[in-house]
Amino acid sequence: MSAARWGRRSADGDVTRVLTALEAAHQAGDDTRFRTLCERYAVVLDARREEWLRAPQNVADAFRQSPEQVRPYLQMILRVAQELDALGHPESLRRLAGAERPGSPQEKVHEAQLLEEDGEHEACEALLRDVLDEFTGDSGWTSDIHVRLSDCAARRNDLDTAIAHARQAHAFAQHAGGRRVADTTVSLEVLLAARELRLGTPDGKRLGACRETVTRAQKLSDRARFAESNRLLRELLTQASTWPSDAAAQRHIGKIYGLMGLNHFYAGDRDEARAWTEKALHECRRCGDSVGAEVYRANLEEIGRTGPAPAARRG
């Protein structure tokens, strides 16, 4: 069932053209293009949600005759709503999920958000846990609930509980795919680093010193002092050779390689830039850092081209 045969067009045709492109990406399994289209047209899709959430007559007729025939189309519509929700436009997903129904999981999440804003943290968490117990929906939604629970625990300074929910959020996000993977990866890394620093252990102190050096190197790079930045990073890599293999600071090795690659690129040495960025990509893949791997894969593509320097940075 193609969006191109809907028989309904918006005044300027944007919604139909966008949904046709989204359906093509969905059918081809091109997740990157699907997410890119959702990001690019999020505002118009959210503003015109009444037009594409309400099934055209021919789609409704086909569904009554053979639900399986239009299932891919319905899955595509749900994916669009989920992507918009992750981009900060929740109304389409709320509508599809029947959020206006009293007692629905979506309505409870909305109530929990209001409780959190009023400072009722324990009540908020209790309601969110109830939603987890009752709801057996998709992985993306479950990931979002764990993210909210992690945030609540972090506000109470309960880092162990926050990390436990962040791990769950990341696991469900990996199953669901999409932009949640990147968001939950970053959140988990931040919480793990915060716990190490709070413990004040030798490993935590090592991590703190590592983060401080990388931050200084990034600031030097931002000021176009690339040689000085790389000098700091080389000294840090020398120290890193003495770190235990399970040291928390090891999570920053890929970032160190990547920043060195970027410095070399901006300094005009593409060969060194490529070599260090390849090391960054390999390190991120080795330790399961999918976000970093995507950043450095994109940087390698830019290094291979002529023209402007790569825009992606990891600070």
C-alpha dist (Å) from residue 260 to 61, 150, 266, 285, 296: 59, 33, 10, 18, 12
pLDDT at 56: 55
pLDDT of 165 strictly over 60: yes
Q: Using one digit for the tens of pLDDT, what is the confidence trace for 267-290?
A: 999 999 999 999 999 998 888 777
Grade residue 171 by pLDDT with cuts at 50, 70 and 90: confident
pLDDT of 74 strictly over 70: yes
pLDDT at 97: 63
pLDDT at 8: 38
pLDDT at 55: 57
pTM for the full predicted model: 0.48
d(CA 68, CA 63): 8
pLDDT of 192 strictly over 60: yes
Q: Is the Cα torsion angle 91, 97, 99, 101 positive or negative in sign?
A: positive
pLDDT at 138: 64
Highest mean pLDDT among 89-98, 162-171, 257-266: 257-266
Quote the mean pLDDT of the chain.
Answer: 79
Q: Using one digit for the tens of pLDDT, what is the confidence trace for 5-45?
A: 333 333 344 778 888 888 888 888 888 888 889 998 998 89
Tokens 């890119």 belong to which residue? Answer: 36
C-beta neighbour count of 251 within 10 angstroms: 19
pLDDT at 69: 57
